[in-house]
Amino acid sequence: APAVKNFTLNFTITNLQFTADMEKPSSRRFKSTEKVMYHYIDSLLRRSSIGPAYIGCKVMAFRSTKNRDDTGVDAMCSCRDEPSDPKFNSTTVYHELSKMTNGITKLGPYSLNSQSLYVNG
C-alpha cells in the first residue's frame, strides 16, 4: 500500500451560523454541510502543489466559536507520500490556500475569518 501523509485543515466561516445539530455527525444538517465543505476544500487542494498526490479530506467536526454566528471547520486530509509524489509542506499549502481564498476571506459563497486558517502536517 502507498505511504500516506495525513494533515489537518481548520478554518472559520463567518457567514454560516453554528447550530447544535452541526455537532452530530449523524444529523442531516452535519451531512449536508459536510458535503458542501468537501466540495470547496477538495476543489482547492486539487489545484494546490499537492494536487497530484491529494487523496481527500473528511470533515471531522463543525464547532461553535466565540462568536456563535461563526462556524469552525475541522478536516482531516490525506495525500500520498511516495518519492515520486509532490512533497507536502504545510507552509506552502497554507500560502497557496491563502491566495486561492483571496487572502483567507472567501470560500465559494462563504466568508472566512482571515486569521483562522490552520494547516498542520
For the segment 15-26, what is each residue's pLDDT rounded down to a tens digit?
999 999 999 999
Are 27 and 21 spatial neighbours (Cβ–Cβ below 8 Å)? yes
104 pLDDT more than 80: yes
Please give the Cα distance from 26 to 45 (Å, whole number): 26
CATH code at 4-120: 3.30.70.960
What pLDDT, on a 0 to 100 scale, did the predictor assign at position 1? 66
Q: Quick one: average pLDDT of 71-93?
A: 93
Residue 37 pLDDT class (50, 70, 90 cuts): very high
What ranges do the domains of the chain cover? Answer: 4-120
Please give the Cα distance from 110 to 12 (Å, whole number): 10
Q: How does strand 118-120 pair with strand 4-13? A: antiparallel
121 pLDDT more than 80: no
What pLDDT, on a 0 to 100 scale, did the predictor assign at position 95? 96
Whole-structure pTM value: 0.93
55 pLDDT more than 80: yes
Q: What is the mean pLDDT of the chain?
A: 94
Cell numbers linked to 73: 471547520
8 pLDDT more than 90: yes
Residue 102 pLDDT class (50, 70, 90 cuts): very high
